[in-house]
Amino acid sequence: MNSLWNDGEAASFKNDLALRAYTSRLLGSEKALVMHGGGNTSVKLQENGEDILYVKGSGADLAHVTEKDFAPVRLAAVRPLIERDAMSNAEMGAQFRAALTDPQAPRPSIETLLHAILPFKWVEHTHADAVLAVANTDHGERHVRAAFGDSVVIVPYRHSGFELAKACHEAFSREATARTIGMVLMHHGIFAFGNNARESYERMIALVTRAEDYLKSCDAWDIPLRFPAAIPIPTFPLEGGRRSDMLALAALRRNISHAAGFPLVMTLSSDLMSLAFARRPDLESLSQRGPATPQHAVFTKRVPMLGRDIAVFTAAYRRYLAENAPEQAVRLPDTAPRIVLDQEWGLISAGITAFYADAAAEIYRHSMKIQSRAEALEAYASLPPREVLAAEIEYGGFEQTMRNQYGLAGQVALVDRALSKQAKVEELLAKGAAVIGLDDDPTVKALHPRPEFLGLCCSLVDSQIESDGCRSGLARDQRHQSRASPLLPNLPNLVDRLLYNPTEIEAALEQSVRRFGGIDLLITDNPTLATACEPLLKLSPQHP
């Protein structure tokens, strides 16, 4: 891994907080270091005679942070908390908020206390894939020591928050030397620190590079993309009228949504990495050992579903909950999968919105690399199911919150002639729906940058000429001329005759199912389009 530090860019930042945001973005831009915006950074400054910790706010994406995304916390109010024997994360969070110099600042990271107690001005924390691949093995501490020597302190797994900060404080106080430049948190990630911005950032890069080099030296770095000859590699968008595949995907979304108890958006990824992983001969063993870190389960569940038998998966997940849930738990996760591995299709992810379906897929792509390399190094190992479920319970619940806030969360709407119905598109997006905007104008593709919007363009044909076996090359021009000349007497008849190209409509629907999993709501006055969508609407989780 290469350092992205640039002297010219760094010199343009006039204070340490701006420089802190800069090096945070450098970390966030390297996808092998962070997943779904994870990780946090900090810098300690003096302001008005006080020592202030600026720590990345909870939920901010490292790749895009600015100075405004850092929470200013009084160190004098926070550091003494580490002397307590125990404290709930809720109480700790309240202490952090009380210590803010600006009550309107972002909510401080749950790792704020850990950043506060480290005796360095600059602190970096990532969930580097290579480090997890080295650590998440049957003899993880041995491999970590072989990779890093005495440059890191090793901390056994603890849940994020006070428990983790306490464990890190004890391990660092006991084991740190002048050569210590980082900490490896087992089944979690890695910390690096320094006394200036470049030193701290480049120590993180150097440590991750050592993990990569260790994996390479053990022939555990390259991930082969092998495919059993008996299983063909699919081509998407679906070709040759493979309508049965499209309907099967929509049916899978319906079944997953029914198991969850509410509609979910579903996204398909048939890239070579996903297909190769889904076809591993040891998949049933490897994928079912658990996530790379327990927090992943909040988005991906503890394990993926293999194949399409939802009943088998939900029964197994009910057993997992029954055997591992604490007696005092007031809320348990649903039993529906969020990740599906299918030999024919690859990786399928589900979420309450397209954003969260994408997040689950992104996290699991990291998991595929971590698990593959750890298995090649020795044998991939996760944490016990009870630890994973504790994280699901502690950090879950966001889906219910979104359902309470957005009435159409998890639903998919197709809006015909979207460019002339932009208000309707905006309304649906505001209510939490994923929206497919269909039009004959290609500018529809750029109507919205959000992951919840998919713009699709289909050309028009004149239905009267099409019926004679000829496609009308003039149809599109005629329609636009008619739009521009509303007084033309033949406008009503002309518009009625103009239809989307049937082949392109079929491809558009296939792309829609691949992106969002199906269609629940259809807004169109085109009977031909309505007929084409009817089988998908019948497979909607909302269909009676």
Mean of all residue pLDDT scores within the chain: 90
d(CA 371, CA 284): 13
Q: What is the mean pLDDT of the segment spanning 504-524?
A: 95
pLDDT of 21 above 90: yes
Return the SS3 of 172.
helix
Q: What is the mean pLDDT of the segment spanning 506-522?
A: 96
d(CA 518, CA 533): 10
Nearest C-alpha neighbor of 464 from the set 449, 454, 451, 474: 474
Sequence-separated contacts (24+) of 80-89 with Cβ below 8 Å: 81/113, 81/162, 82/113, 82/116, 82/117, 82/165, 82/166, 82/169, 84/162, 86/162, 87/162, 88/162, 89/160, 89/161, 89/162, 89/394
Backbone φ and ψ for 148, nearest 5 degrees, come out as -115, -10
Confidence of residue 317 (pLDDT cuts 50, 70, 90): very high
Q: Using one digit for the tens of pLDDT, what is the confidence trace for 25-46?
A: 999 999 999 887 678 999 999 9
Q: Give the lowest-confidence range in 64-78, 106-120, 277-291, 453-467.
A: 453-467
Confidence of residue 492 (pLDDT cuts 50, 70, 90): very low
pLDDT of 59 above 90: no
CA 123 to chain centre: 24
pLDDT of 421 above 50: yes
Confidence of residue 395 (pLDDT cuts 50, 70, 90): confident
pLDDT of 241 above 50: no
Q: What is the mean pLDDT of the segment spanning 432-438?
A: 97
pLDDT at residue number 309: 96
Confidence of residue 328 (pLDDT cuts 50, 70, 90): confident
pLDDT at residue number 227: 61
Which residue in the block uniquely carries the two structure tokens 């019926």? 467
DSSP E strands: which ranges in 139-272?
152-155, 182-185, 189-194, 265-269
Q: What percent of the chain has pLDDT over 90?
A: 81
pLDDT of 52 above 60: yes
pLDDT of 450 above 90: yes
Query: Measured between alpha carbons, how far is residue 304 from residues 254, 335, 392, 508 in Å?
Result: 17, 11, 15, 28
Rg of the chain, C-alpha, whole Å? 26
Nearest C-alpha neighbor of 135 from the set 155, 161, 159: 155
Nearest C-alpha neighbor of 383 from the set 138, 199, 205: 138
Residue type at position 236:
F
pLDDT of 497 above 70: no
Q: At what angle do helices 502-516 and 527-538 cross, to 10 degrees?
A: 30
Q: Is the peptide bond before 544 cis (omega within 30 degrees of 0)?
A: no
Question: On the CB side of 79, how many CA atoms lie within 13 Å of its CA?
Answer: 11
Q: Which of left, alpha, beta for 80 (phi over 0: left; psi -120 to 50: alpha)?
A: alpha
pLDDT at residue number 37: 66
pLDDT at residue number 394: 86
pLDDT of 495 above 80: no
Beta strand 152-155 pairing with 305-306? unpaired
The full DSSP string for 325-344 is --TT-S----S--SEEEETT
Go through the domains of the chain in sequence order and give each one's CATH number.
Answer: 7-217 (3.40.225.10), 243-403 (3.40.225), 412-538 (no CATH)
pLDDT at residue number 35: 80
Number of neighbours of residue 166 by Cβ within 10 angstroms: 21
CA 81 to chain centre: 33
d(CA 199, CA 5): 10
Residue type at position 151:
S
pLDDT of 233 above 80: no
pLDDT at residue number 544: 77
Q: Using one digit for the tens of pLDDT, what is the confidence trace for 160-208?
A: 889 999 999 999 999 999 999 999 999 999 999 999 999 999 999 999 9
Residues 6+ apart with CB under 8 A from 460: 440, 475, 476, 479, 498, 499, 500, 501
